[in-house]
Structures are given as structure tokens and as C-alpha cells.
Amino acid sequence: MKQYLLSVHFVEGAPEPTEEEMRTVFRETALINDEMQAAGAWVFGGGLRSPDTATVVRNDNGATTMSDGPFAETKEHIAGFWVIKCADLDEALAWAEKCAAACGPVEVRPFDDLSQA
């Protein structure tokens, strides 16, 4: 089984969802989480706090610095994620389709398979 990251995107400047919309997202996401767990695809998942809570840690020739985040200067940030295990990309995309219907755009990325290196 391969592992995939399904990441949920938050777009800075987009209209804030209402409380009712967020309750719907949480309810639908919980149903997908339950379905993934029942299917044996679930590895780990969670939501992330806003990008302004991030701290970037850098090491340059042994000197560590820490600064307020986020790391990337961008309008799109990861708002949450799932790590899932699937037989192939098609199966991961099927899960991503369900996730996107519940909470918005989802990026699918396979993990490196370092065991074949």
C-alpha cells in the first residue's frame, strides 16, 4: 500500500464561511473520516490553525533562527490534511473527491517510496 497526503487549501482573502457552513464542513468531514477508518485507508488527519500561528525554524551552518511564519509568502495555505494508504493513485483520488465535496479544494501527493531507493 502506498501513502498519500490529501491537503485541504485555505485561500487568504476568500469570504469567511458562516458558522453554519463550518458546522456542515465539520459534520461532512467527520463522516469521511469514519468511512476512511472503516475502509482501512485512514493513517492520520487533522486541521491546522491559521498560518499566522506558524513559527519557521531555520538552521544555517549550525545557527538556528526562529521567526514568525508562515514559511511561504502566498495567498494559499494548508488548512488541514489526511494521510491515507491506498493501493494506487486512483483510489487516493476517489477519497480526495469525497474530501473536496466536504471541505473545498484538496491536493493529492504521494509520499516518496524510500524503500525502493
Spell out the residues 6+ positions from residue 30 whose beta carbon is closer than 8 angstroms to its own.
Answer: none
Mean of pLDDT values over 85-103: 96
pLDDT at residue 73, rounded to an integer: 75
Residue 113 has a pLDDT of: 78
Grid cell digits, residue 91: 483510489
What per-residue confidence (pLDDT) applies to 87? 96
pLDDT for residue 117: 47
Do 30 and 73 touch, CB atoms closer than 8 A? no
- Buried/exposed 15-30: b ≥16 CB within 10 Å, e otherwise: eeeeeeeeeebeeebe
Q: 104-116, pLDDT tens digit by residue?
A: 899 999 998 775 4
pLDDT at 13 over 60: yes
Q: Is 44 helix (H, G, I), strand (E, B) or coil?
A: strand
- Model confidence pLDDT, tens digit, residues 33-69: 999 999 999 999 999 888 888 898 999 999 999 998 7
CA 92 centroid distance within chain: 13
